[in-house]
Structure 1
Amino acid sequence: MQQEKWKQTRQVRFLTAMQRSNHTVTEFILLGFTTDPGMQLGLFVVFLGVYSLTVVGNITLIVLICNDSRLHTPMYFIIGNLSFLDLWYSSIYTPKILVICISENKSISFAGCLCQFFFSAGLGYSECYSLAAMAYDRYVAISKPLLYARVMSIKLCALLVAVSYCGGFINSSIITKKTFSFNFCRENIIDDFFCDLLPLVKLACGEKGGYKFLMYFLLASNVICPAVLILASYLFIIATVLRISSSQGRLKAFSTCSSHLTSVTLYYGSILYIYALPRSSYSFDMDKIVSTFYTVVFPMLNPMIYSLRNKDVKEALNKLLP
C-alpha cells in the first residue's frame, strides 16, 4: 500500500514537471535508500548516530588543536582544517537524509539541489588538496627533519589551506555552472540520497560530449593530480626510511604516516570507485552504498583515525577533561 502510494506520487510529480517549460524542473525527488517505513526508521536512527559522532568527534579535535600548545604544529594545523572540512561536508548531506527517512516529502528544490551540488564538489575537491598538503608535510618531516620548522612555516601552511579551498571551489563553480545549464527534460527523480553528478547527468538532455570531457578533466586535476602528488611524496618517504639503519627508527617514521595513509586510502578509494570506473561498471545501488561511505561515514572516521593512536591528542584530551 505504501509503495503503491509512493508510485502514484512519483507519477504526479513527474507529469507536473513535464508540463513545465523546457528548462522545466523546479524540484527534484530524492529516492533515498528504501520506501519501507520500518527500514526508513532504522536508517534514521543509524544516520542520526553517525552524524552525532561526526559533529562531536570533529569539534572535539578542533578544540583540542586550538586549546593545547603542543598541537600547534603544521601537521595538526592541517588535521584541524580536515576536521573542519569533514564537519561541513557531512552537514551538507546528513540533515537532508534524516528528513528523507522520516518524511513523505522527499523533494529538494532546484536551488537547494544546486547549492548541495556546489558545496559537495567544492569541499570534496578541497579535501583532496588538503590530503596532498598533509602528504607534503609528512615528506618534509621525515626526509628533511632539520629544515622542517623553517620549510613548514605558518605562512606556508595557511597558503596550502587557502589554495586547497580556492582550487576546490573554483573548480566546483565550473562543474556546477555546466551541470545546471542542462535542460532536465526527463524525469525529475534522482535515484540517490543527494544531488550527485552522475544521477543528474543521467536526467539531463542535450549534447554531453563536451561535458564528459570537462568532467574527466576536473577528475584528473582535482583527484588524480593530488593522488599522484601523494604517491610521489610517499615514494620519497619510503626511500628515506629505508636508509634509516635502526629498525625502531624506521617503525617510528612509518607510524607517523599510518593515519594519513589510512585516510587517503579510504577517501580516494571510494571516490575513484564512483567516478573513475568505466560506464559499463556503474551500478547505482552499489554507488549509493559507496557514496554513503565517503559523504557520511568517512567524516565520522577521520577524527578517530587521527586521534585513537596519537599520543599527543590523547594527552591533550586528558588535560582538557576534568
Structure 2
Amino acid sequence: MSFLTRSALFANSSLRNGAKILSAAQQKRQLNVQEHISYSFLNEAGIPTPKFGVAHSAEEAEKIATELQTKNLILKAQVLAGGRGKGAFKNGLKGGVRVINNPQEAKEIGGKMINQLLVTKQTGAAGRICNKVMVAERKFPRREFYFAVMMERAFNGPVLIASSQGGVNIEEVAAENPEAIIYEPIDINKGLTKDQALKIARTVGLDDHLDTTAQMLLNLYDLFVKKDALLVEINPYAEDAGETRKLLSKDLPESLICTKFLSNISTTYILLTIIIITTNHFLLFSFKANSVSKHQFSSSNLDTFWKRLKIIHKCPKKNLSKIKINH
C-alpha cells in the first residue's frame, strides 16, 4: 500500500471516527494561511518573490511603500477569500487588490481597507474583516512556467512536474495537451538531484537560466520535504525583466489550499496559491500563524482533492502510457 493511499485511508477514518481517534483533544484546523505567509515560506526556502511588507494601519502601509522604493506597487487586502480583486468593501471602496503608484496612495487606500468588511463571491453578503494589508512590488512577467513536487501513487514516491505552459489552468493543459506536462520521478532515498533539476529546466526552455532554475527546483523539493507535504505547486514561475522570479500561482478550492496569495499583472487579477498539504497531520496540521481559523475537511472535499490529483497528473496506472516521463 502506497504512502498516499495510507494517508487517504487515515483521513477518511478520521472523518468517520475522529472523536474516537483523537478523544477530547480533537481540534478543527483551517488549512488556509494568508498570502504574506506564503511569501515568507518561499523566501525561507530560498525561492525569490516580489518584495513586500504587511501593514496594520494606513501609516504602516505608507512606510512600507516608501521603503520599497518603486512606483510599481500592489496593495492587497489580507482576507481569506477568493475574488478579492473584484470584491468591494462595505464602506464603498471597490476592489480588495489595487494598483498604486506612491506611498500617499498606499496610506489613503490602505486606510479604507483596514478594519473594514470585504465582500467577494466567496464571503457571502456578510463579508470578512480585513485586519491588515500587504504592500508588494508589482511585476510584469515575460514568460510563465509551471512547477510542482508531489507524492504520486503511480510512482510510489515523489515526482517533479513541470510545464512551459504556466500561468493558466493546469487541469486544462493536462486535458488538452498532456504532452506539455513533464514528469520526473524522484528517488525518495536520494532526493532530487542537480542533474535532474538541470534537465527539467532545459526541457521547459529555461536554457538562459539553467543554474538559477535548477537551484529553485532543489529549494522547492527541500520545502516539500521539510513541510512533510503531499503537494507543493508554483504556477507560474515567471521570467521578469531578464530575471526568473516566482510571481503567482493558480486558484483552487479553499479547502485544498494551505497557502494562498494574490498578485496583479497590469489590470488582470490572478489568484496565487502554493499547496502544502501535510501527510502526517492531514486533518490537524496548522501553520503557526495568527490568522488560522476553524475548518474541517468534508468527504466531498477529500473526493475533490483526489480527483484533482488524478486529473492533473494522470496518475491511474491504466493511463501511464499517456504520460511523458523523463528517464
TM-score (structure 1 length as normaliser) = 0.25
Q: Flag the structure with more relative contact order, 1 or 2, with Cα contacts below 8 A and sequence separation at least 6.
A: 1
TM-score (structure 2 length as normaliser) = 0.25
